[in-house]
Chain A
Amino acid sequence: MHSNVSVLYRKEVSSFFNSPIAYITLIVFLVINAWFFTSTFFLINESDLRTLFSVIPIFYLFFIPAITMGLIARERNSDTMELLTTIPISDSEIIIGKFLAALSLIGTALLFTLVHFFSLLIVGNNIDIGAIISGYLGLLIVGAAYAAVGIFSSTITSNQIVAFLISFLVIFIFFILDKILIFIPGFLSSIFQYLSIDYHLSNISRGVIDSRNIIYLGSIIAFFLLLSIRTLEMRRWR
């Protein structure tokens, strides 16, 4: 890892865990997931993580905008942007360092949900471990795509609430696209489906890791990160 990126990454991660917002969102994330997991686990006697995997993307809608909203907006709001952009660190290093920090927090949240996986291992039978691994992989990649959207929203405003709302809206559109297919004229529906993040996530979660899905999610991440870097550069020319 490039040293500038790693210095900034460590700063971000430690400031995450120094702020109550990280703990609050993490706890809410875990409590809600635990409720969804245990309710089906004990009531329906299902020994898989399907419900969990279908609830997490919905929770992402709030969780990821909440942890990314301040990444750039707060630096701008508290004037530390002037420090950050006049020390020898490039705009792309700033964005990548912060992106990786957000991804680590998402990873940490996912890591905590492994507790459900272990309880499944103890009491369940016929567990499809492959599906669970690919499910987690899919959630991590989708989390990365949403985090890229979140960082971009944070670069275009100095108001964290506005940043939250913009990333929520964009993520919501990506999320909803394949759920409104019945309202879409036939010739467009395959495009809409391809643009929907959930469609790709469900493919990956089924254990079918297709290059199309990876390329799609990879391009979403790259697109929004590049857009963020450009926005940061443009600020100098305002």
Chain B
Amino acid sequence: MIEVRNLVKNYGNVKAVRDISFTVENGEILGFLGPNGAGKTTTLRVITSYLSPTSGNVFVDNLNVLDNSMEIRSLIGYLPEMNPLYHEMNVYEFMEFVANIRKFEKSKFKSRLSEVIELCGLKGVIHKSISELSKGYCQRVGLAQAIFHDPEILILDEPTVGLDPNQIAEIRKLIKNLGKEKTVIISSHVLQEIQATADRMIIINEGEIVANGTIEDLMSGFKGKTRLILELKNATEESISKIQSVNSEISLADIKTQGDSIVASLEYPNSLDPRQNIFDYALENKWTILEMSRHKTSLEDVFRNLTIEGGADA
């Protein structure tokens, strides 16, 4: 179990992380979400001993990063944001270096190497120089570096940045698979990334945790509205504005004329579904419905609301 307790990290006068606390249970995939510069990387760097906390501490299985850094480092596999690779080495040499420094048993190196090659899809590049590899392959080598010693904890900082959609899908699948047995923290500024991989997410903004929970928790906690867009013919603005007679909770958000049709946006609480009543109302008024589309508040809106507007109402 990882426990971050009252972590504060300042760079000079800049407060990167302001007193955050959270725990990650064994076998959990935690998504760490936030806009760029929110303090994600700084938090991960403290957990991995790259930086020391200004105050507070991080505990991993009753060890803490201030006193037991070496033990914790050997439990963790870490893929930093700036995927660090020795470009003068080939992939094999790099894996050998990583294995040796992790004191991986020499007799098991070959078999573990072929496992990792299989897992990370490195077949065919193992004897290539790292400097010749594409961005996607570099990222796989970075991941191979992180998982080589079969760590209990895997920390991945923005693992899919700069990859193409196919590679992103592959890496996500790989992370999901690894997460079946391991504790994983994956950070990203892309919501879909976290949604696709994590069991639980922590949203961090300006160094503070603004939300912590499962995707369902976050959605239900957020009182969002549904937006319904109607494109109508044979309607008048006047008759549309009386749509509240269907249900008083419906409000008219926007209305505009497009050629000989009218586009109206209605808003109502997520708990409501008045679409059938609206249809009946349209029939009554002899409107022709060209389009009726519903836009539910998405997690994206929750995220934007929490991080950009800094809304504390979630």
Contacts and interface: CB of A to CB of B under 8 A. Distances in A.
Interface of A: 3-4, 7-8, 11, 14-15, 18-19, 78-90, 236-238
Contacts of A83: 78, 80, 84-85, 145
B97 A82 contact: no
Contacts of B80: 79, 82-83, 86
Closest 8 CB pairs of A and B: A79-B82, A83-B84, A80-B84, A236-B52, A7-B100, A88-B73, A86-B48, A82-B80
Contact of B85 (A19, A80, A90): A80
Nearest to B44: A86
B200 to A, nearest CB: 24
Contacts of A15: 86, 88-89
A238 B54 CA distance: 9
B73 A86 contact: yes
B86 A85 contact: no
B49 A85 contact: yes
Given A19-B88, A78-B87, A82-B82, A11 B50 contact: no
Contacts of B52: 236-237
B78 A86 contact: yes
Contacts of A84: 84
Contacts of A3: 100, 103
Nearest to B145: A83
A60 B76 CA distance: 42
Contacts, number: 65
A13 to B, nearest CB: 12
Interface string B226-242: 00000000000000000
B76 A86 contact: yes
Interface size class of B (residues with CB under 8 A): 20 to 34
What does DSSP make chain A's interface, helix, strand, loop or mixed? helix
A79 B86 CA distance: 10
A119 to B, nearest CB: 36
7 contacts: A79-B84, A82-B80, A83-B145, A86-B48, A86-B73, A86-B78, A238-B51
A78 B84 contact: yes
Contacts of B50: 82, 85-86, 236
A7 B86 CA distance: 14
Given A80-B85, A86-B48, A87-B73, A238 B11 contact: yes
B85 A88 contact: no
B101 A7 contact: yes
A19 B87 CA distance: 11
A120 to B, nearest CB: 38
A82 B89 CA distance: 17
B169 interface: no
B190 interface: no
B69 to A, nearest CB: 8
Contacts of B82: 79, 82
A81 B50 CA distance: 9
Contacts of B70: 88, 90
A87 B86 contact: no
